[in-house]
């Protein structure tokens, strides 16, 4: 398989990084590391090459259901744009249909698409909520994300047990305290708090 110019450039950069660290990129254990790293980053950032319409794949359906739909504990992995180290956790999504529902498997796919980009958790949370709000036109959308950030755990303050929580509330989830409370209470009950 032929390598693209981008792949060759990434491999060359990784070789230089290894040299900068004081390593010999030609030694047996590191010889294939540049290629492995290039392939890894291609996978970890594949969200840049995905489009919402393709991910949805026409899986928005007309339905007269108008109660809250919640999908919780969607696992995700992303890369912190500040240090290029992972952050990972769970995403919880709720929406109240307004004549349209989405195939449930599409919610994790939307999370994955945005998570597989260089991110900050706050933007990631908002992108998921905005996308659902735009494409479903629901009465409301709520997204809560909980994540552990290796940039905080491995370096800097080195706080191993810290969890960052972010939320994005649109429509009824923002404007109606009862709706928001119902969502957060259901999440709290599930999490055992």
Confirm whether 135 is a catalytic residue.
Answer: no
Confirm whether 80 is a catalytic residue.
Answer: yes
- CA-based torsion, 94, 100, 103, 109: positive or negative: negative
Where do the DSSP E strands lie in the chain?
A: 60-62, 69-80, 86-96, 100-102, 118-119, 140-149, 164-171
Distance CA 151, CA 190 (A): 28
Active-site annotation holder among 16, 31, 81, 122: 81
Confirm whether 92 is a catalytic residue.
Answer: no
Distance CA 76, CA 106 (A): 14
Active-site annotation holder among 16, 49, 82, 122: 82
Active-site annotation holder among 91, 127, 146, 149: 149
Active-site annotation holder among 119, 121, 127, 146: 121
Active-site annotation holder among 50, 83, 135, 182: 83
Active-site annotation holder among 11, 80, 91, 112: 80
Catalytic residues: 80-83, 121, 149, 151
């Amino acid at each position: 398989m032929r390598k693209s110019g981008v792949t060759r450039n990434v491999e060359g950069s990784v070789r230089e990084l290894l040299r900068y660290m004081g390593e010999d990129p030609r030694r047996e254990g590191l010889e294939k590391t540049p290629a492995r790293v290039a392939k890894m980053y291609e996978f970890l950032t594949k969200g840049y090459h995905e489009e919402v319409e393709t991910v949805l794949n026409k899986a928005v359906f007309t339905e007269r259901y108008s109660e809250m739909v919640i999908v919780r504990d969607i696992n995700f992995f992303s890369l912190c744009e500040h240090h290029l180290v992972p952050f990972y956790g769970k995403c919880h999504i709720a929406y109240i249909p307004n004549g349209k529902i989405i195939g449930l498997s599409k919610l994790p796919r939307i999370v994955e698409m945005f998570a597989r980009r260089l991110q900050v958790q706050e933007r990631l949370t908002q992108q998921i909520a905005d996308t659902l709000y735009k494409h479903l036109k629901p009465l409301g959308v709520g997204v809560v994300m909980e994540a552990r950030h290796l940039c905080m755990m491995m370096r800097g303050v080195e706080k191993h047990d810290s969890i960052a929580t972010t939320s994005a509330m649109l429509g009824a989830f923002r404007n109606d305290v009862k709706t928001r409370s119902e969502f957060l209470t259901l999440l709290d009950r599930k999490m055992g708090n």
